[in-house]
Chain A
Amino acid sequence: MASLTVTDEQVRATPAKVIQPAWVRVMHWINAFAMILMILSGWQIYNASPLFGFTFPRDYTLGGWLGGGLLWHFAAMWLLMVNGLAYLVTGFATGRFRKKLFPITPSGVLHDVRAALTFKLGHDDLTVYNYVQRLLYAGIIVVGVLIVLTGLGMWKPVQLHWLVMLFGDYPTARYIHFFCMAAICAFLVIHVLLALLVPKSLRAMIIGR
């Protein structure tokens, strides 16, 4: 019996390991909120002049009309950019990116993709990202940077002309901006699905443990 009883002292002596520090959790959820605002208002803007032969259903757009969508987009962009910049700075400064996302080796990725597809990829230790996670998380950061840069270029194609030139020209920046959105949406679907399949990872992103 005694061995099954846990004293207060013992609990305090062995605190559960913090998987996601507070700054990661706060910035993650701010980003999620800002990103959803950006996507829904972006769909509204897309619908005013579609790049392809389809539009987004009105129910999944924000703002009611083009003008409203633009207001949301150019408001939420500040939240997305300030939060994203703070995340990048903190991620590099604390060494989190280096520790958690690197190295990404081709053999490691191949191995883990195969394991994932045969449902043999374990999540026993949530503090260590497997190679599929590393690739996706590092990749989505790159896409995030790209979508912000193309967006800024399209917002100020004269003042930030050099930024537009980096991507070719204004219409090309517009296409890249769209494909980055598509990549983020694809990521979002997989990310949410996997978080629901491994609920303890979702818990870690909410309460840290």
Chain B
Amino acid sequence: MAKRSFLIPGVDKRLLIKDSIKTMPDVTRRRFIAGSASLGALTLLTGCDVVDSSSAEEMLKSVSKFNDAVQAFIFNPDALAPTFPESAITKPFPFNAYYDLDDAPDVSAADWKLEVRGLVDNKKSWTLDELHKLPQVTQITRHICVEGWSAIGSWTGTPLRDFLKLIGADTRAKYVWFQCADKDGYNSPLDMRSALHPQTQMTFKYANEILPRAYGFPVKIRVPTKLGFKNPKYVVSMEVTNDYKGGYWEDQGYNSFSGS
């Protein structure tokens, strides 16, 4: 109980809105190194101008790629994310996005279909009713945000690897790339080994209720071995591909693998 209470301040609603504003993509942030006063502070402290902005940016990008490789290397496909009892669930589970809840995608189930593309045998689109008929499992795991806060939630849906098998996906491909209904076209690549992880889930329910709009109705991809931003919500299509197609946050500088 005490543990849960100190989680709440980090996910306070007003703070979240503030965070969302802060994490709004803008031109200055895309050049995340340039022109920041903090570099002056660093130069002062170290006494040498080690961080010429463009070369520093190149160096950081290379290290981030190196970190992708390190994380892929230490990723154990059999290592399970810890699971929790229902009593450990964080209430309320925070809504978190780069926009306010009122601006979240409002998907109409009747018009929505999950598109399946790329290296798969069966490219048929799926209605929500069809997806809901698939066998489902529930997991209670910790969602860890790139910002540092975390929250425990209960998600129910079909293991993604079962769905990939069902559609005849080429699981030797490198990525499953998700496209979402968010404004500005949210998307995110998921490496195949993480996609095939037993806990990676095509989620239809939160806390045994149909996924509410706040948590990604109609479909969210729950990946407890990844940071929150690699758990796409409001999914409209998935593509099995060998190409690295980038992602909304990945392109702005968040580490692409971002594994837990």
A interface, CB within 8 angstroms of B? 33, 36-37, 40, 44-46, 48-51, 53, 58-68, 70-72, 74-75, 78, 156-159, 161, 169-172, 174-175
Contact = CB atoms under 8 A, between A and B. Distances in A.
Given A49-B148, A51-B6, A158-B80, 5 more contacts: A45-B147, A63-B33, A67-B249, A71-B60, A75-B60
Interface in B1-34: 3, 6-7, 9-11, 15, 19, 22-23, 28-29, 31-34
B79 A67 contact: no
17 contacts: A33-B46, A48-B146, A48-B147, A49-B145, A49-B147, A51-B10, A53-B9, A62-B42, A63-B33, A64-B33, A70-B255, A156-B260, A157-B144, A158-B80, A161-B79, A171-B150, A175-B6
Contacts, number: 135
Contacts of A58: 37-38
A75 B33 CA distance: 14
A64 B148 contact: no
B81 A158 contact: yes
Contacts of B145: 49
Nearest to B149: A49
Given A71-B32, A71-B63, A174 B148 contact: yes
B12 to A, nearest CB: 10
Contacts of A174: 148
A69 B149 CA distance: 16
Interface of B: 3, 6-7, 9-11, 15, 19, 22-23, 28-29, 31-42, 45-46, 59-61, 63-64, 67, 71, 74-76, 79-82, 142, 144-150, 224-225, 249, 252-255, 259-260
Given A36-B45, A61-B38, A71 B3 contact: no
Contacts of A61: 38
B158 to A, nearest CB: 21
User: Most chain-B Cβ atoms within 10 A of its Cβ — which of A50, A60, A70?
Assistant: A70
